[in-house]
Amino acid sequence: REAAVNQAAARLGGLRLDRAADRQSRLRRFVHCMQTPRDLVEALAVLLLLAGVALACRAALPNWGSAASRLFAPWTFVPSVGSVEIVSVTPGDRDVPIGESVGIAAEIRNPGGRPLDAKLFISKRGQPEKSLAMSADRTKSRFALTVPSVIEPFDYRLEIGDTQTRIYSIGVRRIPVVESAEATFRYPAYMERPDETAVLGDLNVEAPQFAEVALLVRPSAPIARGYVERSGEQFLGRVEPDGTLAVSPIPLLQDGTFVVRMWNDAGHTDPNPRANNIRVVIDKPPKVDLSGLNRATKNGATAGLSSSVASETGTGTAGQASSGTRGIGTRQATIAAPGTAIPLAIRAGDDYGLGRIELQVRMKESEKIETVRQWTDFPTAATSAERRHRLLLDAERFEPGQTLLVRAVAWDKRRIDSWGHKLEPQESAGPWHEITLVSKDDEIAAALERLDDLRAELMKILEKQVRARAAVASANAGRAPIADVRGRQIDIQKSAAVLADSIDPAGRKAPLGIKRRLNGLAADEMIEAVRLCDELLNIQNPNGDNSTSANSRGQTVPGEESPNSRPPRNLLASGDFDEQ
């Protein structure tokens, strides 16, 4: 081994290593990395030569720069950049609402204002590219074209002079609108109603005042955000994972309108959303009525009669008047003796539930009000109630000659303390009813006079009935027109109805029996008699001449003389009156 090494060293002893690279070709020096300073100078010279050539080509050929890029990307569109400098392209890449037009414009640097040819190239999926000429402004530095009614997405690029732009994309998005909605109503606590959910057909909302409504809106397209606007006030919404918009509760304080505004992730929204109505139902005060005392006269009926019949206790009235001397709606005091117990009935109602009913009394000469009885035990959300009480006129406390006032008062359950409103229950008070205290003898005398008045009114109806029967007989004999019979039946029906309406349904047993008989006469027999008269008039004289008698054409008015038809049953026989 040592001998071999010595032999190799001896053979290389006369070789100069600093000149070894010069004996090799430029290729071998490049392969073996043996470049000399001369190689470095030659490489720099070639580099400078290529740079000079490139600069010369760029000056002579404006598209020279982009040509190299197209050379290295043969399968990709590379825009050609020439002498025209395109500063900006609008709208660039963008999504637009479906059906809207898109304005495409480009600005260039053109200090001299030289005319240039500008084209817009549009390509749609599955369709060949087509070009459209663009119009220039006065300075020839801005070119524009509007694409109307974009229905589907497309790609576009511009070519102005010898310069091209990259490919831009226009997408199409649907503007989100309300497709359907649900409303959850939360009612005030005093209404004692559970929450209710309803599907809204037209997004109009109607609910009691001070209720809250939470909307769940399903849009027609995916949305990024949204809210409800009412009179300039915004109620924010939350986009749920399923794409619905849940809107925070909206208080329903007054009538108005609201709109639902929604945006997609591209910022598109309906500029003119539909205005939806809000209608609040006001909580009305309760209604209360006290019966068992005298009531107002009606239709000119005798004041003394209507007032006396109204008394459930059979007590009389002060200041009796003759028939027709008192106007409609007049009221007379109830007459009672100390020691009497007057049965009273209180009827009250409210649209969202009663809270309290009171029976109050006071002396006419005093302003001090005393609560005789109070009721608060009503079923949940009861909207009507009837309570009865026997008002005892204590003989040790009251004396003949005094006047006692009594009324009924009702409250609802309304209690609001939210949204800047603080409201208490609503109160409704009925009118004061007078009870004139008299001696026992005066009470009995008034009761007898009241019975006489009732008998007189009933006898008047009986007299009309007798005259009507006579008219029926005359009509059947051909001596009286049917119209006269019809008018008499109508008069009897009205008189019976007025007298029956004047009798208090909470009255004593005897007047109530008369009331039932009168109602039967007015609502059944007399109406049937009038109907039969109308049929005869239509059959006998289609031209409307009411002077035709019954037997002029062989017809018979229903009455005692006709074996095939019976007259209206006379429920006001004098014997019945005597029994009452």
Instruction: Show the 3-state SS of 325-391.
Output: CCCCCCCCCEEECCCCEEEEEEEEECCCCEEEEEEEEEECCCCCCEEEEEECCCCCCCCEEEEEEEE
Q: Is 449 or 363 the better-scoring residue by pLDDT?
A: 363
pLDDT band at 126 (very low <50, low <70, confident <90, very high): confident
pTM attached to this predicted model: 0.58
Looking at the chain, the whole-number percentage of residues with pLDDT higher than 70 is: 72
Query: Of 184, 435, 436, which Cα lies nearest the Cα of 293?
Result: 435
Average pLDDT of the segment spanning 537-566? 48
- What are the DSSP E strand ranges found in 32-177? 85-90, 94-97, 102-109, 118-123, 130-133, 135-136, 142-147, 154-160, 163-164, 168-173
- H or E stretch including 281? strand 276-281
Q: Is the pLDDT of residue 544 over 70?
A: no
User: Could you tell me the two tokens for 572?
Assistant: 């006001």
Looking at the chain, the whole-number percentage of residues with pLDDT higher than 90 is: 36
The CATH homologous superfamily of the domain defined by 287-438: Immunoglobulins (2.60.40.10)
pLDDT band at 354 (very low <50, low <70, confident <90, very high): very high
pLDDT band at 322 (very low <50, low <70, confident <90, very high): very low
Q: Is 29 or 178 the better-scoring residue by pLDDT?
A: 178
pLDDT band at 481 (very low <50, low <70, confident <90, very high): low
Average pLDDT of the segment spanning 450-462? 73
Q: What is the pLDDT of residues 8-59, one digit of tens each?
A: 766 665 555 566 666 677 777 777 777 777 778 888 888 888 777 767 766 6
pLDDT band at 579 (very low <50, low <70, confident <90, very high): very low
**pLDDT of 49:** 83
Average pLDDT of the segment spanning 73-86? 78
Please give the Cα distance from 375 to 14 (Å, whole number).
137
DSSP tag of 14: T
Inter-residue contact 443 to 317 (CB < 8 Å): no
User: Could you tell me the two tokens for 289?
Assistant: 């009525």
C-alpha distances (whole Å) from 524 to each of 12, 301, 503, 518, 529 are: 151, 22, 19, 10, 9
Residue 198 C-beta-side C-alpha neighbours within 13 Å:
14
Please give the Cα distance from 221 to 218 (Å, whole number).
9
Please give the Cα distance from 331 to 294 (Å, whole number).
7
CATH numeric code, 182-281: 2.60.40.10
pLDDT band at 153 (very low <50, low <70, confident <90, very high): very high
**pLDDT of 29:** 74
Q: Is 25 or 351 the better-scoring residue by pLDDT?
A: 351
C-alpha distances (whole Å) from 82 to each of 136, 159, 289, 485 are: 19, 10, 97, 112
**pLDDT of 295:** 43
Q: Is 83 or 222 the better-scoring residue by pLDDT?
A: 222
Q: What is the pLDDT of residues 375-424, one digit of tens each?
A: 999 988 788 999 999 999 888 888 888 899 999 999 999 999 988 899 99
User: Could you tell me the two tokens for 548?
Assistant: 């035709």
Average pLDDT of the segment spanning 419-440? 89
**pLDDT of 498:** 75
Sheet (strand 102-109) strand order: 85-90, 102-109, 142-147, 135-136
pLDDT band at 184 (very low <50, low <70, confident <90, very high): very high
**Where exactly are the structural domains of the chain?**
2-56, 78-173, 182-281, 287-438, 444-579
With tokens 């005897």, the residue in question is 510
**pLDDT of 560:** 40
**pLDDT of 412:** 93
SS3 543: coil
Please give the Cα distance from 219 to 540 (Å, whole number).
69
**pLDDT of 136:** 92
**pLDDT of 62:** 62
Please give the Cα distance from 296 to 48 (Å, whole number).
123
Class of domain 78-173 (CATH, top level)? mainly beta
Q: What is the pLDDT of residues 86-116, one digit of tens each?
A: 999 999 999 999 989 999 999 999 888 888 9
pLDDT band at 497 (very low <50, low <70, confident <90, very high): confident
Q: CB-based contacts of 560: which residues, under 8 Å, 6+ apart?
A: 469, 472, 473, 566, 567
What does pLDDT average to over the chain? 77
Average pLDDT of the segment spanning 112-130? 90
DSSP tag of 521: I
Q: What is the pLDDT of residues 511-520, one digit of tens each?
A: 667 777 777 7
Please give the Cα distance from 42 to 39 (Å, whole number).
5
Q: Is 384 or 72 the better-scoring residue by pLDDT?
A: 384
**pLDDT of 315:** 34
Burial of 427 (0-12, 13-18, 19+ CB in 10 A): middle
User: Could you tell me the two tokens for 544?
Assistant: 């409307």
Q: How many residues does the chain have?
A: 580
Average pLDDT of the segment spanning 550-559? 44
User: Could you tell me the two tokens for 546?
Assistant: 């009411």
Please give the Cα distance from 455 to 578 (Å, whole number).
8
